[in-house]
Chains A and B, each alone.
Chain A
Amino acid sequence: MAQTGFGRRYFKAFVSGFFVAVPVTVTVLDRLAYVARVEGASMQPSLNPDGELSPDVVLLNRWSVRNYQVQRGDIVSVLSPKDPQQKIIKRVIGIEGDFIKTLGYKNRYVRVPDGHLWIEGDHHGHSFDSNTFGPVSTLSPFQFPPNLAGFSRSCPWSGVSHHLATQSVAADRAVCLSRTKTAVKLGWSNRGWL
């Protein structure tokens, strides 16, 4: 008798906890933030500078793009127009209305149509980006810019520290590129020029 009572209470507690934890977690991952691992070399040296030896893990900020406001220089994660189940991480070079000089696209100069973006990887030539498939529609990037803040080397999540950019891109906001063993990296990365 006591055994059945305990089993039923346990079951009830489990079900009620399940219906709180799973929807809240799924909503947070869909609406607020999402963690992803970066594979490939198309964003070197910003992301994955060590290649496959230690792939970077990035935090994708979904909240900041709920109104589809993306700026030039942001790193975004989009659904590939060639394969709807694959996500690719690239940098936004041009937003709607911009004229882009392309690298190896079928037209030399392209005007980005309304509601589209032009994305490129930092590692030109090793990148499957808009130079291959053209401008992407703003909704297929439904995941958005990695929100990057600095991390100290000692332990992850211990604090936020900003360092100056070590790459040669002009940036008007501080960027942190410190790498930790757990490879959780957060930082802002912004290119001040088109």
Chain B
Amino acid sequence: MFRGFFVKTISFVGYTVQYGCIAHCAFEYIGKFVSCSGPSMEPTITNHDVFFSERVSRHLCRIQKGDIVIAKSPFDPKMNICKRVIGLEGDKVCTSGSSDVFKTHTYVPRGHVWLEGDSLQNSTDSRSYGPIPYALIRGRVCLKLWPPHSFGILAESPNNGRIL
């Protein structure tokens, strides 16, 4: 009787390990569900929306301008940020605000990306801390799942002038 119980426990642990590893591989290499909070990406993303973010384009290095990406915060490795890619390496980005008279530009260094939130007034992004390394990007947000009335692919950037 004790032996049967022992065998059952071992097989249960074995199945848990196997399915845990499969889940890890799926989350790491295919995609996962994320929930974003904060006002920096309005109106594209509102508070507590649920998305599916895919990891395939990150591993194949196919992130493009205009994609919304999830990245690790450069100042706190335990926090994630969700922003739009405005410039890739070598691109020219505008660093001055829309109300400034003189426009300043800078070039994104090699291996870095320039991120900005869609809601320019409520977002701390590359305009404050500079371009972030491409290696910090964790995935690309591709599909909005909740709330159901705005299900589907995410919209283009509402700030047309930012992407040069």
Contacts and interface: CB of A to CB of B under 8 A. Distances in A.
A127 to B, nearest CB: 18
A41 B77 CA distance: 30
Contact of B133 (A24, A31, A81): A81
Interface string B71-83: 0111111100000
A10 interface: no
Given A114-B76, A115-B75, A23 B21 contact: yes
Interface stretch (B22-30, B40-48, B90-98): B22-30
A27 interface: yes
A172 to B, nearest CB: 27
A68 B133 CA distance: 18
B162 interface: no
Contact of A85 (B22, B61, B77, B78): B61
Interface residues of B, number: 26
A166 to B, nearest CB: 34
Nearest to B80: A139
A26 B133 contact: no
A140 interface: yes
A24 B110 CA distance: 35
Nearest to A79: B135
A68 B78 contact: yes
A26 B27 CA distance: 12
A105 B27 CA distance: 39
Contacts of B86: none
Given A84-B133, A84-B134, A85-B61, A30 B28 contact: yes
21 contacts: A24-B21, A26-B21, A26-B29, A30-B24, A68-B78, A80-B135, A81-B111, A81-B133, A81-B135, A82-B109, A84-B135, A113-B75, A114-B75, A114-B76, A116-B74, A116-B75, A137-B132, A137-B136, A139-B72, A139-B74, A140-B133
Interface of B: 17-18, 20-22, 24-25, 28-29, 61, 72-78, 109-112, 132-136
